[in-house]
Chains A and B, each alone.
Chain A
């Protein structure tokens, strides 16, 4: 059961596309079609506007917080084909601007902090960029995967540094391959693995029959297997699970009434929040027998428990 804490008047002039809480859950970043990114400090259930970042010339689709060990860093990606990395040092300023894409940049995600300061972003031009900060030179090095998804890549997410396959061989932990998952307009989900200095397509997961809108690799605090949640315009949410990050088994979480736009895992990776076109957010949890149960569902602004039929799905 979840209850509404409060509704935030963001002052955004247009639609909000993403809202992200930072590592500690104490800062909230929102981004909107009105080209701006806003940052709020959350204290005791209230929030105050801390910054209004203007630098994009198009709708800002997504924001992502870096691990705090690198400072207060926020990445934002926009329809204007740019990715901006913002840094707070007293004030929020532009730290770096990545302009390597030929079309709208749809999603950004920071790599697990263990790998260093690495940002992945993906674009409607079908390519993925991996931008790595080099401590020695102070430069940002860009690697690109072109033609990752025909027509465009909608969403990107990193495999946690501690992941299922490590259990197989704990001694090789430090050389564990980096992995990425992307969802695209070709209805596919692809898993990419770093091999040497190349990124190779390791797996493609086919099940969705329309654009994949969001993918999210579950954080793995204590989980013994990897899970990826994907949601699509085909109104379905699918949980892909794997014991070795190589073979993946899909479970359809639910088929919703409308397009599902966004999914987000809880810190412990056992609760999934799903946001769909019917303007509802619902929380799902896997029971011990592998069934996914809706534990809570709210329509916009209203707290409400799931009805019986839903919960027995």
Chain B
């Protein structure tokens, strides 16, 4: 659907030019195969006259340009490809309106232009580099102007000085001539680096706009010495340029290639068009304003003639995204925003602005109401500038995550010691919540491998260094008992818990401490409650008390921890005890926000203060699960890790999994392999973003998933250099340059056959035995290069 006030007519062939009569009521279009006059009605064009008539349709009818006299109602002139300038008189009776043919130019005439006040003066610019001034009354060439350039593309009389005209040429020059003096031009300057295709005088200012193949439109002040006032950057060769009437800073342009649209620019905002009219399907060949800033006509190679109304314009300045925001890997935020924001310009609903059949290629944001358009135009004087601001990161600066990444240990020690170390690291950086997870890990896995049957694998051997207090020597038979473990669904998360056999003498300890009965008769207890609670080993906390994912307030942290640990081990050494309502409620939301509770109040339970750094009540729900009587650590730990990952802390999730070592398989039923891989790769990515290559490599090395572990096989490359010349050699081939010389032993100077040992530092070497002998006595390279060699 074409909006009603953009009207269009199709022609027999594409028009190269159009011209309006004095009062802009009629338009003439001219091309190779078309030459017609239309009258411009409210809603359509009406053909008034077809000038391409007669028996002899010679090349005089093949027009490059057309001009309509600004004074005489009926006088037209065309520039023909054969070098003829033809004058037409619409007032002639009969079909042929041809008045006179000037055949003075040798080559194509590119432009004809009437004098603005002298009706009899017509000027032409031709490919032969000459301009001719014709006297229509005398029907002769009054003067010939020789430009000394290859070809003239446009000639225009100045509206300010009656006898001055500007001529632009293909060598990039602009010449100003006095029409009365043909000897030489008034002024000449190089305007563009490429051919200049068009020029247009500003109606009020002494400005000349020039359009060039160098994709720019330049505005020259030629009051005195030509001075470049503005440069507009377009995306394609500019074919035509026309100042918008009554708008001091606005100029319309169309391209010769590539861009089919007509753009109206504000010279003060030279990169983005103010308005765009994209109705044409092929390049626009000519534009003319209808003596009014709000309507103009254009012809195109797509054989159409359009009248555009400015109210229908699209505004590319509004499509341009004025804002850019980016959050970096380091948590910094970069924000680019305009100096002064665009006012809220409410567009009309952009419903049916798309004209599929006419191939509208530019999006149109919907036209603006006149007020909005005026507001938009007012924005331009200041130009547009943006402010680019950087902000430091969000709430928790990632620097502490990075610092933790550097200091965390992930192997070389038993799980609980690693966890203890990592907990300290986390707390040192005020990451109490994370620190707490590590505490949990330390507590839960601070013992030899729990006597729980792994799901898939044979039981891992106990770690080499375990706390001697905690070592329980298990009889071999018990291992076999694992086959008989019973699964039954308990209430805890609907997950199967296991019951395992505990020898009576050990069970007794628990029994005495809690006063509670084992669930399944004397030997069988729930795995969760069977964590071999040794009253003697007072340095470890019960799992369930460590489970609340809360951290003590930082100020009181060490003392509370110590106290709690001590008391918890001494007094509350039973799961039953700590599941009492009192301790459970201490983890509620209410207390989470209060001041740090004092030690007396929290002596039997872990202090219930939420981590200030997180400021969320989220983690607390874990508490309730944790305090159920039959607690199994694996699902809860898995939940905690998932929670951390969801909070964006993939570090904790990945690293806890790594540190768990042989306990890791406990979590496998709750965290599938895909997610494990996801965490590991995520953490590796995080480390790489912070250039922590060594840590990342360590993670890859500690990985248990083949897909992650195999990363170490990728993107590692070994290059071989020639030991003689140092040039890189092709694998398994001798150096191209040193080809005839085989590798000699640096010690005995003989050719080495068989094993060749060399120093990777200086690449000198020789027989293994010789090198070994040499290195026993010396430190420097046998080849005498001065390198302190190391041999394997």
Contacts and interface: CB of A to CB of B under 8 A. Distances in A.
Given A173-B707, A281-B391, A287-B618, A224 B325 contact: no
Contacts of A78: 235
B323 interface: yes
Given A8-B388, A162-B678, A170-B674, A33 B272 contact: yes
A267 interface: yes
Residue from the set A47, A167, A295 with the largest chain B CB neighbour count within 10 Å: A167
A35 B231 CA distance: 13
B522 interface: no
Interface in A189-211: 210-211
B616 A288 contact: yes
Interface string B677-695: 1110111011011110000
Interface in A1-40: 1-8, 10, 12-21, 23-25, 28, 30, 32-35
Contacts of A301: 387, 389
B647 interface: yes
A271 B362 contact: no
A265 B326 CA distance: 8
B341 interface: yes
B221 interface: no
B327 A267 contact: yes
Interface stretch (A54-62, A90-98, A245-253): A54-62
Interface in B341-356: 341-342, 344, 350, 353-354
B388 A16 contact: yes
B750 interface: no
Interface in B267-315: 269-272
A270 interface: yes
Given A12-B386, A268-B648, A300 B361 contact: no
A80 interface: yes
Contacts of B233: 35, 57-58
Nearest to B329: A25
Interface in B15-29: none
Contact of A296 (B325, B394, B616): B394
B407 to A, nearest CB: 20
B386 A275 contact: no
A45 B649 CA distance: 25
B335 A57 contact: no
Given A33-B272, A152-B363, A268-B649, A25 B674 contact: no
Contacts of A267: 327-329, 331, 398, 686, 689
Contact of A16 (B234, B331, B386, B688): B386
B392 interface: yes
A276 B324 CA distance: 9
Contact of A162 (B271, B320, B647, B682): B682
B555 interface: no
B363 A185 contact: yes
Contacts of B682: 162, 220-222
Given A21-B329, A28-B334, A271-B327, A223 B645 contact: yes
A303 B393 CA distance: 12
B392 A2 contact: yes
Given A21-B334, A264-B325, A124 B362 contact: yes
Given A23-B689, A57-B215, A103 B329 contact: no
Nearest to B383: A14
Contacts of A283: 333, 394
Contact of A14 (B258, B269, B618, B674): B269
Nearest to B365: A211
Contacts of B618: 287-289
A4 B386 contact: no
B391 A15 contact: no
Contacts of A23: 329, 688-689
Given A14-B271, A17-B320, A274 B674 contact: no
A277 B343 CA distance: 9
Contacts of B336: 16-19, 30
Interface in B389-404: 389-395, 398
A61 B349 CA distance: 24
A266 B394 contact: yes
B696 to A, nearest CB: 13
Contacts of B675: 167, 224
A262 B330 contact: no
B675 to A, nearest CB: 5
A291 to B, nearest CB: 11
Given A25-B329, A167-B674, A170-B677, A150 B354 contact: yes
Contacts of B215: 57
Contacts of B353: 151
Interface in A162-178: 162, 166-170, 173
A271 B648 CA distance: 9
B322 A15 contact: yes
B774 to A, nearest CB: 41
B667 to A, nearest CB: 15
Contact of B344 (A1, A166, A258, A298): A258
Nearest to A166: B674
A69 interface: yes
B776 interface: no
A56 to B, nearest CB: 9
Contacts of B329: 21, 23-25, 267
A25 B328 CA distance: 5
A2 B645 CA distance: 23
B123 interface: no
Given A23-B689, A167-B674, A185-B363, A6 B383 contact: no
Given A25-B328, A268-B649, A298 B271 contact: no
Nearest to A172: B674
A275 B323 contact: yes
Contacts of B272: 14-15, 33, 59, 79
B324 A279 contact: no
A222 to B, nearest CB: 3
Contacts of A104: 316, 319, 362
Contact of A6 (B236, B316, B333, B390): B390
A21 B328 contact: yes
A275 B271 contact: no
A273 B323 CA distance: 12
Contact of A57 (B234, B321, B672): B234
Contacts of A1: 395
Contact of A18 (B319, B324, B681): B324
A258 to B, nearest CB: 6
B386 A224 contact: no
B385 interface: yes
B111 interface: no
A185 to B, nearest CB: 5
B321 A262 contact: yes
Nearest to B261: A103
Contact of B323 (A45, A47, A277, A303): A277
A8 B762 CA distance: 47
A58 B234 contact: yes
A141 interface: no
B325 A277 contact: no
A263 interface: yes
Contact of B334 (A19, A213, A266): A19
A60 to B, nearest CB: 9
Given A25-B329, A25-B689, A30-B336, 13 more contacts: A8-B388, A19-B388, A20-B326, A35-B233, A35-B271, A78-B235, A124-B361, A224-B645, A273-B335, A281-B335, A281-B391, A285-B394, A300-B335
Interface of A: 1-8, 10, 12-21, 23-25, 28, 30, 32-35, 42, 45, 47, 57-59, 61-62, 69, 78-81, 102-104, 124-125, 150-152, 162, 166-170, 173, 185, 210-211, 213-214, 220-224, 258, 261-271, 273-279, 281, 283, 285, 287-289, 295-296, 298, 300-301, 303
5 contacts: A14-B383, A15-B384, A57-B215, A59-B272, A124-B319
Closest 4 CB pairs of A and B: A222-B650, A288-B618, A268-B648, A25-B328
